[in-house]
Chains A and B, each alone.
Chain A
Amino acid sequence: MADLAANAQGGARPFARLTAALSRPTTLAQVLFVLGVAALLVALTLVAQSNLERLSVKSGYGFLWEKAPFELGESLIAYKAGDTYMRAFAVGILNTLKVAALGIILSTALGLVIALGQLSPSSVVARVCRLYIETARNVPLLMQLIFWYAFLTASLPRVKQALSPVEGVYLSNRGLFLPALDFGGAGGQIGLALLAGLVMAVALMVWKLRTQARGNIAWAFWGLLLLPAIATFLLSGATVSLDLPELKGFNFRGGLAVSPEFLALLLGLTFYTAAFNAEVIRGGILGVPKGQTEAATALGLKRGQVMRLVVIPQALRIIIPPISNNFLNLTKESSLAVAIGYPELVRVANVTLAETSQSIECISIIMLVFLTISLSTSLFLNWFNARAALVTR
C-alpha cells in the first residue's frame, strides 16, 4: 500500500518517496545492514593497512612476478627455483587438479564396488562393506593421510632393495616407478589432444543421455576420445619408445615416477571418499522404484538391458548431484596434503608465505582458486541438471 502511494507521487517528490521508503522498517533494516557491512569492510581495510604499514610489510600481489627461491618436488610443467612465484602457484594448482582428478576416478570405482557389495545377495560381503564404510568415514582424513605417509616411507624397502614384481616396475619408499611411453618431444601435444578428445567424448555422452538418441555410440565415443591423439602423433612424426626406469646414482631415472607423497594422498583421498561415494551410489540404485525393473522385465528386456537402459539412467539422476558434492569435497580436502609435503596449492602458498610474509595475499589465493573450482562446478551442474531434467518432465 505504502508502495503504491509513494509511487503515485514519486516522480515529483523524490525526497518524500525516499523518506516514505525508509520509514518502512524492513527497508530501513536492509539499508542499515548494507551500511554496517560496508563500514566493517572499510574498518578492516583501514586496520590492515595501518598494521601492514607499521610492520613495513609489503602488500598487493606484485610478488607474484618476483623470483621464487625454492624447488618443488614434482611438477606437471617445467619449474625450477628462480622461476616466478606465479609459475610456482601454477605448479601447485596443477598438482591439486592432478590428485583430485585421479582421486575422483578411483574413489568412484571403489565406491561402486562397495555399493554393489552392500547390495549383493551375500550378507557376509554386505556386512564387511558396511564395516568398511563405518570405519573409513569416521576416522579423520588427516589422520589417514599421515598414517599412509608413515606407512609408505617406513614400511616399504629402501631404493636399493626396491620391490620389482614385473620387469620395469619398482616399488620402494622413494615411490613407484613405472615404464612410460616416450614420444620424443611431442608428449605434451599428444596429451593435450587426448584431453580434447576426452572433452568431446564426454560431450557426446551427455548429448546421448539428454536426447536418449537410439543406437550404439560406443564406436563414436572411443573414436572421439582417441582419434585426435593418434592424429597428432602421426602428424608430428614423433617416434615412440618404451622408457624404462633404471637405478642410476641415487635413484631411479626415466620412466614414470609416482612419489610417496602423491601416493599417500591419493590412497587417503580414495579410501576416505569411496566410503561416502558408496553410500550415494547405493542410495541411487535403491532409489529406482521396483516397478521400473518389473515393467522393463515384463516388456521382455534382458537383465543386462534392464540395468543399462532402465536402472542406470534413472539411478544416475539421483546419484549425480550428491556425488559431485563428494567430488568437490575431495578436491578441497586435497589441501590437507600440506601436512605430508605434496607440493599442491596450499603447500606452495605456505612456502611463499614464509618467504614473503604476505599472509593475507597467499591465503586469499588459496581461497580464490578453490572458490573458482567450486563455483564453476556448481554452474556446470546446474546446467547439466536442467538438461537432464528436461527429458523426463
Chain B
Amino acid sequence: MSLRTIAAAAILAVTGATAAHADLLDDIKARGELSCGTLNYLPGVGFLDDKGEWSGYDVDFCKAAAAAILGDPSKLKLVALTGPQKFPALDSGEIDILSRSVTQTISRETTLGYDFIGPNLMTGQGFMVRKDSGVTSVDDLDGATICVLGGSAQERYLAEYFAYKGMTFTPVAAEGGDQMYPMYFDGRCDAVTQEPPYMAIRRLRSGQADEHVILSDIISKSYEAPVIREGSPRLREVLQWMHWGMITAEEMGITQANVEEMAATSQDPNVRNFLGTDGNVGQDMGVSNDWMVNVIKAVGNFGEFFDRNLGKNSALGVERGMNALHRDGGVLFAPGWQ
C-alpha cells in the first residue's frame, strides 16, 4: 500500500505545485524564514566561527534580505555549500538566495536559468606570484603550475585564456581556499588565481606578505552577484532595489546609526520617500514601507556594509576601488527612487 500511496501523493504534489506556482517572495513571507546559501570558511566573506556565529559580506547580504522581506535579519537560515553544491541547492529550492561570491556570466544567466542581483562586488580574475619569480605579467606564466579553485568559473577562464594565448599550464585544482593558499605559499604552484581582494586577504594572513605580488593584469571581469532562480520577478525586484537602496543610502548619508532619526525627522522629500515615511513604495512591492529602514538597521549602507566586512574597518583592508560611489571615483550609481 505504502509505495503506491507515496507515488500517488508525489504525482499530485507535482501537478499541484506546477499549477499553483507562485512568486518565491510570497513563499518566503508565508514561511516566515529566508533560506540563504553561502560559504562558511572565509572570514570577511562567509564565515561560521567556532562559537556558531555567522559573519561576512555574503552573509550580511542574506541578513539584509531577511530584514527587507521579513522585517527581521534573524529570520534567516544560512546553509553552507561547497562549490559543486551551490547551484543544485538553488535548483532544488533548498535555498531561496545563493549569496556565495558567485560570478555572473551570460551563460549562467541565460542557459542555466538564474537571475542575478546586483552585482555587489566588482573585481576581476587576477594572479599572485612570488616576487623572486621574476614574473611581471600573466603572459610570463607559460608552462607554469597554477593553483585554482576546482569547479569555479576561474578554472574555466584560466583554461580559455591560456588556450587563446597559445600558452600551456598545469592546473592544481584545490577543494577550497583553505587548501589552495597553503599549497601556493609552500611552493606547490608558481601562481595562484582568484579575485585580487581574496588574494590580498590571504597574502596578509600568510605572514610572508612582502614576498608576493598580485599582478595588475586581469584576465576576466568578475561580477560577483547573489543569485535566485528565474521565475520570481517580484523577489528579484525587492532584492535588486534593496541593493540599489543601500547605495542610495550612502549617497544620502543615511547610516546604521542615524537611520531611525532620519526617518522620523528628515524633511527632505527624497529621504522621506526613500525610507517610507511618505508614500507607498514598499507595500506596492510586497514588503513593508519601512523596509529600507530595516535593511540599514541590519547591515548599514553600502559603504558600511563593504568597510565592515572587507574594507577599512575589517582585518582585510581591501580598497573600495570600483566598488565606491561614482562621485568617489567608483562605478556605483543607483537609479532614482521616485
Q: A: which residues have CB within 8 A of B?
A: 35-37, 39-40, 42-44, 46-47, 50-51, 54-58, 69-73, 80-82, 150, 153-154, 158-159, 173-174, 249-251, 260-261, 338-341, 343, 347, 350-351, 353-355, 357, 359
Contacts and interface: CB of A to CB of B under 8 A. Distances in A.
Contacts of A47: 10-11, 14
Contacts of A153: 182-183, 186, 188
B214 to A, nearest CB: 18
A71 B159 contact: yes
B173 A351 contact: yes
Contact of A56 (B7, B83, B113, B159): B113
Nearest to B10: A43
Given A354-B84, A357-B112, A39 B3 contact: yes
Nearest to A35: B4
Contact of B83 (A40, A46, A354): A354
B229 interface: yes
Contacts of A72: 171
B92 interface: yes
Contact of B88 (A50, A159, A359): A359
A69 B92 CA distance: 25
B84 to A, nearest CB: 5
A251 B112 contact: no
B163 interface: yes
A261 B145 contact: no
Contact of A351 (B11, B133, B150): B150
Contacts of B230: 56
Interface string B6-39: 1110110010011001000000000000000000
A389 B160 CA distance: 57
B172 interface: yes
Given A341-B174, A357-B112, 13 more contacts: A39-B7, A43-B8, A51-B92, A82-B163, A153-B182, A153-B186, A173-B188, A249-B142, A251-B170, A261-B172, A347-B173, A354-B152, A357-B87
Given A55-B113, A350-B150, A354-B151, A73 B172 contact: yes
Contact of A40 (B3, B17, B170, B183): B3
B175 A341 contact: yes
Given A70-B156, A341-B175, A250 B84 contact: no
B113 A57 contact: yes
A81 B172 CA distance: 14
Given A40-B6, A47-B14, A341-B150, A70 B159 contact: yes
A347 B182 CA distance: 21
A10 to B, nearest CB: 29
Interface of B: 2-4, 6-8, 10-11, 14, 17-18, 21, 83-84, 87-88, 91-92, 111-113, 133, 141-145, 150-152, 155-156, 158-160, 162-163, 169-175, 179, 182-183, 186-188, 190, 229-231
Nearest to B174: A341
Nearest to B175: A339
Nearest to B3: A36
A134 to B, nearest CB: 29
Given A57-B91, A153-B188, A261-B172, A69 B156 contact: yes
A343 B175 CA distance: 12
Given A70-B155, A70-B159, A174-B145, A357 B88 contact: yes
A342 to B, nearest CB: 9
B18 A50 contact: yes
Contacts of B111: 58
B91 A357 contact: yes
B146 to A, nearest CB: 9
A81 B163 contact: yes
B59 to A, nearest CB: 22
Nearest to A159: B187
A62 B2 CA distance: 36
Contacts of A339: 175
Nearest to A341: B173
Nearest to B189: A174
A260 B188 contact: yes
A134 B1 CA distance: 47
A211 to B, nearest CB: 50
A173 B156 contact: no
A72 B173 CA distance: 8
B9 to A, nearest CB: 9
7 contacts: A50-B18, A54-B18, A57-B112, A70-B171, A71-B169, A341-B175, A354-B152
A81 B3 CA distance: 46
A312 B162 CA distance: 56
B170 A73 contact: yes
A350 B84 contact: yes
Contact of B143 (A50, A56, A250): A250
A15 B106 CA distance: 62
A46 B8 CA distance: 11
Contact of B160 (A40, A46, A81): A81
Contacts of A80: 163
A69 B186 contact: no
A248 B106 CA distance: 39
A36 B6 CA distance: 9
Interface centre among B17, B159, B187, B230 (most CB of A within 10 A): B187
Nearest to A339: B175
A89 to B, nearest CB: 15
A339 B207 CA distance: 26
B274 to A, nearest CB: 35
Give the 9 A-B residue pairs with the shortest CB-CB distance, closest first: A36-B3, A354-B151, A81-B159, A56-B113, A158-B187, A39-B7, A43-B7, A43-B10, A341-B173
Contacts of B150: 341, 347, 350-351
B22 to A, nearest CB: 12
Interface centre among A57, A159, A357 (most CB of B within 10 A): A357
Nearest to A42: B7
B173 A73 contact: yes
Contacts of B18: 50, 54
A46 B173 contact: no
